[in-house]
Chain A
Amino acid sequence: MDWTPAPRRSSAMRREQNLALVGAVVSGAVIATGLLLLLVARVNPEAGERLRGVALDIVTPVWSVVRAPFDGIGRALSWGGDYFAAVDRSRDLEQQLAAARAELNRAAADRLALAKLKRLQTVRDPGRRLIATARIVSATSGSVVRSAMIAAGRADGVVPGQPVIGADGLIGRVIEAGNHASRVLLLTDPASRIPVMVQRTGQAGLAVGSNRPALELRDRVGAEVPLRTGDRLVTSGDGGVFPPGIPVGTIVAGGVEPAAVRLAATPVGAAYVTIEAAWLPLPVEAAEPRLDAPVPIEAVRSGAKLPKASAPPATPLP
């Protein structure tokens, strides 16, 4: 019996050590849970959609109250600026108006011709449908996701996937919707890809966000035709979400690949935006799979319920 007894520890020390052990275990479990949640998010990105909606509903009204006085100050400042710059502006506008009138005359003739051609070809144009008009309340300036919150939600008919359009051009697309608030993925987010068309040349491409102020124009059809500085990009309507012809931006510098695109409309100071229905109606439901496999004779005899869309039942053997 020459075993050495365990060293005696005071009860306070033991308690301290036990607590430290429990703390370490809990910390490890918590971090493991976090990683597990990440994997869940990878497999099922829609997880927690309801929770996100609730968070939006809580945060958005607060900011819409907080920013009201700042909006007022901004409006007063811009009124003052308008007043002082009125003469220069009006001269400038008169010049632009003259140029635009000439353009308009040419466009009127084109429009007539286009309408005739469309009638001849019986082209069906899906219409644009306005869902709601709301204000941009706030936007996360975080460096991971570029998004903005708007003060309209499912109660107004807003659902994820709808395009959001400002007065000057495209703003983004709804990704989450609460009852009275929703979140817009801005064009500058890395996950944003907008099918666009170069207005001058008609080349199709993708405007891709990269979390920087400018977008990149990628996958342009006909890359051998160079772009010029100031070429305008509009949505092409490919993909069916964004209606065609909405300004997206202008090319910053010609001859650079991939071309950088300055946005036509920024969410900064974009007071009101419109949310429209997806341009082409999205497919509502996947079609029921047709069951063409032959039905076993026993199933037919016992009168088992056959799927509706099945092929004509197999003829019984003689």
Chain B
Amino acid sequence: MVRNAPPWRLMNAAERRRYWWGHWRLFVPAGVTLALLFLMTAPLLVPVPVFPQLGLLAIFVWAMFQPGLMPPWAAFLIGIIADLLFAQPIGVNATLFAAAAAFVRVFEARYGHHAHGFDWGVASAVVIVFEALTAQLMALAGQPTPLQPLAWQAVTSIIAYPLVVWLCAVVQRRAFGAGFVR
């Protein structure tokens, strides 16, 4: 973040460019989440749908690490892109990602920081509720979907959570140090 920048008219072209490029950190959480979503469209290796819901996990982790940079509206926009990528009715992931970000924000404000195991438990609960609500919203959008594959995805997502946290933590340390951007 470029803080205390001089007034716009006092900067020359190079300084202005540096000022704008200095904001790249604002897009790190959304960028990492989009990259993980893109990874979910990878060519399939197994005939059964077992790919974890990396997008939701990334939303969850970034809403915890950088609450200022993963507000519900950003999660909403990411969710619309997810709907487009996964050929779901527009609004399923958008609604649920935004709700997940809002939930983490409220939860963090109330209970603060805690151990990794506790976070894993909360993430598991969020994933299970997410999959259940996905089935409900798909039915609302007129495309009912069987529950069993969603249950499998919940299991793999819970297993994949530490990996996503590790990735986001590495990115967080590289980009922001240990600080928050609010």
Contact = CB atoms under 8 A, between A and B. Distances in A.
Q: Do A and B bind each other?
A: yes
Interface of A: 23, 26-27, 30-31, 33-42, 45, 47-48, 51-52, 55, 59, 62-63, 67, 70, 136-149, 175-176, 183, 188, 190-191, 210-213, 266-268
A143 B45 CA distance: 14
Contacts of B117: none
Top-3 shortest CB links A-B: A34-B95, A37-B91, A41-B89
A47 B94 CA distance: 15
B144 to A, nearest CB: 7
A176 B76 contact: no
Nearest to B89: A41
A62 B43 CA distance: 11
A140 B84 contact: no
Nearest to B42: A138
Contacts, number: 160
Contact of A41 (B42, B141, B150): B141
B97 to A, nearest CB: 9
B48 A190 contact: no
Interface string B121-153: 000000000010010011011111110111011
Contacts of B72: 26-27, 30-31
Nearest to A183: B87
B contact patch SS: helix
Contacts of A212: 48, 146, 148-149
Given A55-B85, A176-B87, A144 B138 contact: yes
Contacts of A146: 49
Contacts of B148: 211-212
B29 interface: no
B31 to A, nearest CB: 15
B149 A143 contact: yes
A38 B95 contact: yes
A142 B84 contact: no
Given A41-B91, A52-B84, A142-B49, 17 more contacts: A27-B72, A31-B76, A34-B79, A37-B90, A38-B91, A38-B92, A39-B140, A47-B90, A138-B44, A139-B41, A139-B44, A140-B44, A143-B149, A143-B150, A144-B134, A267-B44, A268-B47
B145 A190 contact: yes
Nearest to A35: B95
Contacts of B71: 23, 26-27
Contacts of A213: 47-48
Contact of B86 (A136, A142, A266, A267): A142
Q: Is the interface of A mostly helix, strand, loop or mixed?
A: mixed
11 contacts: A26-B71, A27-B73, A30-B73, A38-B89, A42-B89, A55-B84, A63-B43, A67-B43, A138-B44, A142-B153, A143-B153
A38 B152 contact: no
B120 interface: no
Contacts of A40: 90-91
B164 interface: no
B90 A48 contact: yes
Nearest to A37: B91
B140 A38 contact: yes
B40 interface: yes
B90 A139 contact: no
B91 A145 contact: no
A211 B137 contact: no
A27 B150 CA distance: 26
B44 A33 contact: no
A25 to B, nearest CB: 11
B136 to A, nearest CB: 10
B165 interface: no
